[in-house]
Chain A
Amino acid sequence: MNLANLFKIALRAIWSNKFRSFLSMLGIIIGVAAVIIMMSIGQGSKESVRANISKMGTNLIMVRPGADMRGGVRRDPSAMQTLKVDDYEKINAQKSYISKVSPEVTSSGQAVNGAKNTTCSLYGEATDYMDIKQWVIQEGECFTDEDVKHSAKVCLIGKTIVKELFGEGVDPVGKTIRFKSIPFRIVGVLKSKGYNSWGMDQDNVIIAPYTTVMKRVLAQTYLSNINCSALTEEMTQNAIDELTQILRTNHKIAPEAEDDFTIRSQEEMMSTMSSTMDTITIILVVAAAFSLLVAGIGIMNIMLVSVTERTKEIGLRMSVGATGLDISNQFLLESILISITGGILGLIMGYLGTKACALFNLPTSIPLWSILVSFAVCTLIGVIFGYFPAKKAANMDPIEAIRYE
């Protein structure tokens, strides 16, 4: 029997049991839709995390004091104080693959304006920080290198601070707030950045010259870290090598000794985050894939019922000349058609489901390969779970089958 005839027979068999066929398809539909939705949420989250990380700064490279923990040895706490202003000045003087550099000291505490107060982070930075972290001044202007030099008590504040300490619609530029009882004159307001991907409010910040924060607020001589921008994205590795070189020389580290600082680039953070997201996506998809397995068993069940129900038809077909192969092909094609049709409907449902998720602000993006994979999986399910019932049909004895009641 040729393929066109087989198709006709299989389609008719499916159509004559519309409701039952649909129910057995439903498993596949739900399974495929679930896989597609899970994959698209996974992919979407990954893309959104990457976008968030790249928003953190321009070709950002961070230098932190202390080495990574190696071989289970806890790092020396004194190593946390190894980054000094001198390191920053050396980098600034010798840099060639680095465009911007800013030392950073951080503190957190209470900011006060009259009777109002709020808890926030205070960052001590150089003026380059604005470019490294892509901060935009919305009102007023940035503090100057002159302010940094003289440890001036000036600051920039984020939108959240404006809201908490002054209320909406008030221009705070020129006013003074206190952080840990030190008065700071507000010279500018930062444009809102919103929440980052870890749920931290990026607008709840005060940025002041690092000299001011070190001397007047923290009274410390070491830096929390140093932020740099590579000249271009491609030069990131050169910049890291350069930084390592400068810092090792400056810290007088022997050639065989380990670094007493850690350098991480934005790229590295992205790949770390991406691989975390990948793991989550895999877990979600595997869970959804189990529903496809269950759907396959459902199809096998319905095909077995169908074979038994149509024993007489099988007997008739055999007695007029159908071979076992003809019969098994007929049932195999039927189960493949059920699962592929289910797969296509599942794709449509998955697509609509993804759109629905997007309405609830879930980041989604359907990867093309997920469509191809689910299609292939459906065909495979049809073959695997249709094989046993088809075999059963093909092995029937025509004498018994034709007289089956």
Chain B
Amino acid sequence: MKEDNKKVVIELDNVKRDFIVGSETVHALRGVSFKIYEGEFVTIMGTSGSGKSTLLNQLGCLDTPTSGEYYLDGVSVRTMSKKQRAKLRNLKIGFVFQNYNLLAKTTSVENVELPLMYNRKYNAAMRREAAIKALESVGLGDRLYHKSNQMSGGQMQRVAIARALVNDPAVILADEATGNLDTRTSFEMLVLFQKLYREGRTIIFVTHNPEIAKYSSRNIMLRDGKIRSDEPNGNILSAEEALASLPVQNDD
């Protein structure tokens, strides 16, 4: 947090988001401010109703603040049109969803290519090359042409992570990315996220599972639309070690 020499990727300045439900106004975010620097692995935690989904939508440029400013890579998002935000998402953000959201009956490579389809700078050959590279980096080099319905949950989530990486985004946004996976596979995902962290990627991981915060470099706690705590993690646990210490599954 005090690393002022590092580049700021995300800056929130007193972001508020109100929803009007019937005649009532719901204050989902009541003034949230923080900066996220390049290369951080941040977990955003909170119970349901704490405003973390709303915050994620703000960070992902899917929504705009009612008031306050949000700068992504130095660009103000608040005044952007829908079309501009779509372009920004395409270039700067990689999403990883809880339920993978892969295209049905479609191969891994084609799923990973999807964001590049909406980027005119990429032709078919460049798309394919980038997609294969991304799949190899998540350890799926041998499953390039498997269709989404022929893969396990862990494999599908790896494809989704590869898809988030393929456009070389400024930030990876993971929304409960381990929520649908068993313990062992969850740790495998954390190993992968820690690998990406070591490679210098900026990762924001939204979760309600306090366990995951032990493996990130910084933890932001939300409650009732406000930040309750924002602390760096001095003792980052190794997901690899945790995975090794898990009892070996007995498949018999």
Contact = CB atoms under 8 A, between A and B. Distances in A.
B86 A322 contact: yes
Contacts, number: 55
Interface residues of B, number: 26
B115 A320 contact: yes
A323 B82 contact: yes
A305 to B, nearest CB: 16
Interface residues of A, number: 22
Contacts of B82: 323-324
B187 interface: no
B66 interface: no
A318 B101 contact: no
A398 B86 CA distance: 10
Contacts of A71: none
Contacts of A316: 97, 101, 103, 114
A322 B86 CA distance: 6
A61 to B, nearest CB: 72
B236 interface: no
B151 to A, nearest CB: 17
Contacts of B57: 399
Contacts of A312: 101
Contact of B63 (A16, A313, A399): A399
B105 A320 contact: no
B91 interface: yes
A205 B97 CA distance: 91
Nearest to A2: B120
A320 B63 contact: no
Nearest to A326: B118
B77 to A, nearest CB: 14
B103 A320 contact: no
Contacts of B119: 321
A319 B89 contact: yes
Contacts of B163: 320
Contacts of B101: 312, 315-316, 402
Given A312-B101, A399-B57, A322 B118 contact: yes
B62 A319 contact: yes
Residue in A312, A321, A322, A398 whose Cβ sees the most chain B Cβ within 10 Å: A321
Q: DSSP majority for the A interface? A: helix
Interface in B120-134: 120
B67 interface: no
Nearest to B164: A320
Interface string B85-129: 011011100010100010111100000001101111000000000
B105 A16 contact: yes
Contacts of A322: 86, 118
A312 B102 CA distance: 10
Interface string A1-42: 110010000001000100000000000000000000000000
Interface string B160-172: 0001000100000
A315 B101 CA distance: 9
Contacts of B105: 16
B114 A320 contact: yes
Interface string B192-234: 0000000000000000000000000000000000000000000
A318 to B, nearest CB: 7
B83 interface: yes
A4 B129 CA distance: 19
B146 to A, nearest CB: 17
Contact of B86 (A12, A315, A321): A321
A84 interface: no
B83 A319 contact: no
A194 to B, nearest CB: 63
A317 interface: yes
B60 interface: yes
B103 A321 contact: no
A12 B117 CA distance: 15
Nearest to B115: A320
Given A399-B57, A402-B101, A323 B87 contact: yes
A316 B100 CA distance: 10
A321 B118 contact: yes
A348 to B, nearest CB: 29
B83 A323 contact: yes
A321 B115 contact: yes
Interface string B131-143: 0000000000000
Given A319-B89, A323-B118, 4 more contacts: A2-B120, A399-B62, A399-B63, A402-B101
5 contacts: A316-B103, A317-B114, A320-B89, A322-B118, A399-B63
The 6 closest A-B pairs by CB, nearest first: A321-B90, A320-B115, A321-B118, A323-B86, A316-B101, A323-B83
Interface of A: 1-2, 5, 12, 16, 312-313, 315-326, 398-399, 402
